[in-house]
Amino acid sequence: MSESGTVIVVDDDQSLREALERLLRSVGYDVILFGSAAEFRAAPRPPSPCCLVLDVRMPGRSGLDLQQEMTQSGDAPPIIFISGHGDIPMTVKAMKAGAVEFLPKPFRDQELLDAVAQALVRDAARQAEEAQIETLRARLASLTARERQVMAEVVKGLLNKQVAAVLGVSEITVKVHRGQVMRKMGASSMADLVRMADRLDLANSQA
């Protein structure tokens, strides 16, 4: 059964890169190869769900250095470390920083394929979440300033008359704006609207 997604292999060992490429392509993955962390960082990230198969020790930046750099910049894909020199402290450090797996060389093909499948599921979920957040942001941007004020108060659990008192408007005005907020945000219930506000971190943005 073929798989979907892109696997990026970063390893200074050309023969290993090519062997991993054959393995991964044999089950249907797209594969991109790099011989160093610098080459990888200089290249654009594929748009499809992807993961990184990363050697720990390479000339220049190590795999752990690259992981730390990407994590700090907020653009780290799921990482599977491979190493012929791994030890327990190194493994713990990588896993605590969010690595999907740490495989000592030599590893079984199926171990790598299982880890890649897990990593790509994780990245697909991240992409889906980001797309949903962008949709919510676009809906939020469609609200008028007054509608945003009403939404910010409503999701705190305030009744219409309480919102009216806070904003200095009539209860009828609040009711009308509240209906517009529900429609524009695509919320089916108040609980739904509260969940949307939580995902947008609306409370903090209004603080």
Among positive and negative, which fits the CA dihedral 44, 47, 6, 126?
A: positive
Looking at the fold, whether 27 and 69 belong to one and the same domain comes out as yes
| H or E segment and range at residue 178 | helix 171-185
Looking at the fold, whether 38 and 104 belong to one and the same domain comes out as yes
Q: How far is CA 174 from the centre of its chain?
A: 36
What's the domain range around 181?
Answer: 142-206
Asked whether residue 1 is domain-assigned, the answer is: no
Please give the backbone phi and psi of residue 122, each rounded to the nearest 5 degrees, phi first.
-65, -45
What is the DSSP-derived secondary structure letter of residue 61?
Answer: S
Residue 24 is predicted with a pLDDT of 97
Residue 26 is predicted with a pLDDT of 95
Alpha-carbon distance of 50 to 4, in angstroms, equals 9
pLDDT tens profile 140-176: 999 999 999 999 999 999 999 999 999 999 999 999 9
Residue 22 maps to which CATH number? 3.40.50.2300
Alpha-carbon distance of 91 to 93, in angstroms, equals 5
Average pLDDT over the chain reads: 90
In the structure, what pLDDT confidence band is assigned to residue 207 with cuts at 50, 70 and 90? very low
Find where tokens 């089916």 sit. 188
Residue 32 is predicted with a pLDDT of 97
Q: What's the domain count of the chain?
A: 2
Alpha-carbon distance of 14 to 26, in angstroms, equals 18
Asked whether residue 136 is domain-assigned, the answer is: no
Residue 151 is predicted with a pLDDT of 96
In the structure, what pLDDT confidence band is assigned to residue 89 with cuts at 50, 70 and 90? confident
**Percent of all residues in the chain with a pLDDT value above 90, rounded to a whole number:** 72
Q: Which of 20, 44, 205 is nearest to 105 (CA)?
A: 20
- Between 74 and 25, the higher pLDDT residue: 25
pLDDT tens profile 190-203: 999 999 999 998 64
Looking at the fold, whether 89 and 148 belong to one and the same domain comes out as no
Q: Is the pLDDT at 2 greater than 60, yes or no?
A: no
Looking at the fold, whether 146 and 102 belong to one and the same domain comes out as no
Give 17's strand partners. Answer: none
